[in-house]
Amino acid sequence: MDDLDRMILNLVQDGLPLDKEPFARIAERIGISEDEVLERIGRMKDEGVIRRIGAIFEPGRLGLASTLCAARVPREKLTDFVKSVNAHPGVTHNYRRNHPYNVWFTLTEATEKALADAIAQLIENTGISSIKSLKAKRTFKIDARFWL
């Protein structure tokens, strides 16, 4: 990864321009072609540096149910558990923590019942029964950007 990759990542994290050609606008800002921006983004996606580029929505305002989950996963089951979590379309992200509940992830579903069913399915599929649903009582928005 070079300085141009870092500049692209910083700009993409700040939000894509609302334009018919958002990557052309990014290219103009850093002085390279749109094709080079797209090639670099594609390469970083292939390398796993970029997982996805997309909008972030407020689930509750869209009538959806969401929760933060915390799971207690033994080391030997971590890889398989994380694969199962990542495969679920309602999971936006997950991360490991240095804590007895060592895997945390967000989960969004259409209804509260579907949310409970999804957690039950994860328990059944993985054999990990220690998954806590930590529903928000109050929302705090933290802007998570990783400036490079």
Q: Is residue 123 part of a domain?
A: yes
Q: Is residue 54 part of a domain?
A: no
Do 22 and 81 belong to one domain? Answer: no
| pTM: predicted TM-score of the whole model, two decimal places | 0.69
Cβ 81 vs Cβ 48: under 8 Å = no
The helix (H) or strand (E) run that includes residue 42 is helix 34-46
Distance CA 118, CA 60 (A): 18
Do 74 and 114 belong to one domain? Answer: yes
Parent domain of 114:
59-134
Do 40 and 70 belong to one domain? Answer: no
pLDDT in tens, the chain (148 residues): 999 999 999 999 888 888 999 999 999 999 999 999 999 999 999 998 888 887 777 888 899 999 999 999 999 999 999 999 999 999 988 899 999 999 999 999 999 999 999 999 999 999 999 999 999 887 776 666 677 7
Do 87 and 123 belong to one domain? Answer: yes
Do 69 and 13 belong to one domain? Answer: no
Domains contained in the chain, number: 2
